[in-house]
Structure 1
Amino acid sequence: MGTHNHHHDYNFSEKFQFAGIAKILSLVGIAVGIIAIVMGLISSDHIMVERTYANLLLMGYYFTCVCAAGAFFVALQMVTQSGWSAGLLRIPQAMAGVLPIASIILLIIVGLGLTSHNLYHHWNADGLTDPNSPAYDKLVAGKSAFLNVPGFLIRQIIFMGSYSIFAFVLTKLSYKEDLEGGLNSYKRSFKLSAIFLVIFGFTTPIWSFDTIMSLEAHWFSTMFGWYNFAAMWVSGIAAIVVIVILVKKAGYLAWVNENHLHDLGKLMFGFSIFWTYVWFAQFMLIWYSNIPEETVYFYKRWEPEYKPWFWLSIIINFVAPLLLLVDRDAKRKNGMMLFVAILLLCGHWLDYYIMIMPGTVESHRGFGFIEIGTAIGFVGLFTFLVMSKLSKHPLAPKNHPFMDESLNHQI
């Protein structure tokens, strides 16, 4: 590995042109999503409306998680002073740049879920905390100091607001570094990233407790936060892989090669195993420590309409990456990496589906246009916003202090 400066070999001022078929498809996706959501919300069928809200929560949360994973990726590369990733940082930065919009969308969904149609009816319903009410629930009343509407909304605003501010400032500093050079922006980014990682690490479990676990307020798992974090991180890496490969196919990012892809593949592979470890630990500990009252969570997911999805989730999110990415060469092939990344993004959609649906849609569950249409809509929205963000600045952080290391990266 040499330290020869290869800057002159590449056009570092090139910008991604977001136009043509990619832009049209993203807008068509958004239109499909809007149609599906509106059809669901105006339906006279109560269950259909319930399903629409549940799908909005699923995709709103997933969208925000993937953007937050982009911010986490950027901060992690800063704090670990990683050189290999410098050349592709613009992609997670674009994802992080969309986090404020994703957060606002999720806040609106959660707000609607608390008021007009109660997604959180397990703890936010009349009389649950009133000892004189026939609906009184001792367990929920015991959690009411934490699970109450003002506290819930304040925590959501604080968590997503702080993530968004850090994401915004970190991306801003990187673009500033392009213009000014020097190490000032990098040093500030390093400090801010260290603070962000501490905040993010301690608050994401609570954020997932609130947003997802409280949908079934009787059930509790200390593993749930890390299980959600693992899903968020794997999905974020998979999204970065998809964007890197597709942008390269469009003729950009000439300085990103199979060595960078290999590292992304290792992260995707390793954290798919970690996700499975946490999934299994959550599953096994309930059995091993003999807590029958906790089995209700899994019992619901073993009902006939969920059981096939339950096992399919494990096959897609664990078995597939294990078998497909264990080989070194597989992690260096565009086709294989793209396939596994898209598979994992679908797999973690299914993972969130299994987390959310049994606690929100009580009966006559279905699977159809609402689920697929809402997912397509949010994929279109993510594509449109992230690619628009990516096209605004040069694709290379040319003054990044480790850019040379990224250009000479070999494994």
Structure 2
Amino acid sequence: MLFIVAGVVLMAIGLIMAAMNIGGHHEVAAAHGASEGAGASVEHGGDHAPIWLRRLFASLWQSNTYLIGISVVGTVFVAINTVAYAGWSIIVRRIAEAFSAWLLPGLAIMLIVFFASGHNLFHWRTEGIMDPASEHYDAIIAGKSGFLNLPFYLIRMVLFVLIWWFFSERLRKLSLEEDQLGGTGFWDKSINVSALFLVLFAVTSSIAAWDWVMSIDTHWFSTMFGWYVFASWWVAGIAAILLTAIFLKQAGYLRFLNSNHLHDLGKLMFGFSIFWTYIWFSQFMLIWYANLPEESVYFNQRLGGFNGQYTWLFFFNLIINFAFPFLALMTRDAKRQMIMLKIVAIAVLIGHWLDFYMMIMPGTLKADSGFIIEIGTALVFLGSFLLLMTKRLSQASLIPVNHPFVEESVHHTT
């Protein structure tokens, strides 16, 4: 509740400041209003909402997309450990299961923001942009009309989140029934459900990344972008599971959670921070090496564009999401200390929120972006997510008492 109250206050301050153009960058944005193909995604004569409203739309979309990803990663974590017959993770399974509580509210918010924002978030929604007879016509965007059209886009959005929600609920239901009735039958069913979910998620998550993030920069594309967004979601989800487990342990719950479980979660966070960096560098290096205008525009915006407004964040993104977790968690002892893991997990969660900021804001707001509204929105979303997640945690035993591997997890050592 404190997060929500603080977030509302910050949002109000930020919206008032933006409405009064305090600290605004409208002149800079206008000066960089080149065509989207040259890196600015300009509005071809289309009416735009006031800056305070555009920032609100963008911040809502950013934080919600980020949280939906973390929510479904909880189910991905459960599914991967299920098909791998992994016993160590059973202690934190219920935490991961609880994350999916945000999926349906997140879908509702996404639909509302999508319809309310018009073309303020997605340039391809500008009226007449795919009509050759219109003054707003864009041949490149019109060439993508088979994929970027309203009915198909909305069908994908709703279908993907509902698929994720369905499998999350199915795995949760099997887990709770196992608590009550015992036996291995529910575990066997969970393996089949998890395997099917992972196949569907591999496809839908990548397309969701194209739809929800990459289509903001409509002229630009990257064949690695689905992997990039997933890597950001995944490492943030691992950090969220780890941080929740530590807070529960310190509050007197999860008494069977020990340094060995923390060590394994710490290794995952450490390893996938490196994986995210590998994907980041691979995408950057290939685009830099090719030096094609339609590809390099994405990084031109973020590395020097808009009078260098995003340049510091470009490098800070690498420091907080790679250098810091890599150096902080390099030793074995660091991965077994709660205080170190808490610091790194919080940094990773903030860092990948900033990563989504970098993906979304330059393409939607250009030089008109800021942080007060955006941080306020993030705090409101965080508080709301915690309310739903902790409510779900309270509805069942924190440990799956009849799981076939629960004893292995309780006595897990590394």
Q: Normalized against structure 2, the TM-score is what?
A: 0.89
Quick one: distance in 2 between partners of 1:106 and 1:267? 30
1:31 maps to 5
The verdict on how the C-alpha distance between 1:38 and 1:148 changes in structure 2, with shifts beyond 3 A counting, is: farther
Alignment of 1:289-304 (within 5 A): 289-302=290-303, 303=305, 304=308
Counterpart of 2:254?
A: 253
Q: Equivalent of 2:338, from 334, 345, 350?
A: 334
SS across alignment from 1:143: coil
Distance 1:284 1:344 in 2: 23
2-structure distance, mates of 1:360, 1:204: 22
Structure 1 residue 38: Cα displacement: 6.1
* Aligned position for 2:360: 356
Partner Cα separation in structure 1 for residue 232 and residue 302 of structure 2: 18
- Deviation digits for residues 276-331 of structure 1, max 9, x if unmatched? 01001110111223323211111111231100011000000000111011101100
> Which aligned pairs between 1:97-108 and structure 2 lie closer than 5 A?
97-108=101-112
Query: In the alignment, is the contact (CA less than 8 A) between 1:40 and 1:49 conserved in 2?
Result: no
Alpha-carbon distance between aligned partners in 2 of 1:96 and 1:235, rounded to the nearest angstrom: 14
Q: Residue 276 of structure 1 aligns to which amino acid in structure 2?
A: T
Q: Distance in 2 between matches of 1:213 and 1:112?
A: 20
- Aligned-partner Cα distance in 2 for 1:387–1:152: 32
Look up the SS of the partner of 2:167 in the other structure.
helix
Decide whether the 8 Å contact of 2:11 with 2:374 is kept in 1: no
Asked if 1:52 is matched to 2:56, the reply is: yes
5+ unaligned residues in a row in structure 1: which ranges? 1-26
1:206-355, aligned counterparts within 5 Å? 206-302=207-303, 303=305, 304-355=308-359
Which whole-Å CA distance do the structure 2 matches of 1:88 and 1:363 have between them? 42
Distance 1:399 1:104 in 2: 35
The question of whether the paired residues in 2 share the 8 Å contact of 1:103 and 1:164 is answered with no
Q: What is the CA distance between 1:383 and its match in structure 2?
A: 1.2
* Counterpart code for 1:392: Q
Query: 1:35: Cα distance to partner?
Result: 4.7
State the Cα distance separating 1:107 from its structure 2 match. Answer: 2.8
Consecutive unaligned residues of structure 2, counting only runs of 5 or more, are 21-49
Say if 2:219 and 2:294, in contact at 8 Å, map to a contact too. no
Deviation of 1:36 (Å)? 4.7
Give the corresponding residue for 2:404. Answer: 401
Structure-1 residue corresponding to 2:140: 139
TM-score where L is the length of structure 1: 0.90
For 2:387, give the aligned amino acid: F
The residue that corresponds to 1:6 in the other structure is none
Q: What is the distance in 2 between the residues matched to 1:167 and 1:40?
A: 36
Aligned equivalent of 2:121, options 119, 139, 145 = 119
Q: Aligned residues, how many?
A: 381
- Computed over aligned residues only, the root mean square deviation of the Cα atoms, in angstroms, reads 1.5
Partner of 1:18: none
Amino acid at match of 2:74: G
Percent identity of paired positions between Structure 1 and Structure 2 = 49
Number of the residue aligned with 1:381: 384
Return 205-214 or 127-136, whichever deviates more.
127-136
Q: What's the CA shift string for 1:52-101, capped at 9, x where partnerless?
A: 11000011111111101101101111111100011111100111233233
Cα deviation for residue 108 of structure 1 reads 2.5
Contact 2:4 2:383 in 1 (8 A): yes
The aligned residue for residue 410 of structure 1 is 413
From 366, 371, 374, give the equivalent of 2:374: 371
After TM superposition, give the deviation of residue 110 of structure 1 in Å: 2.6
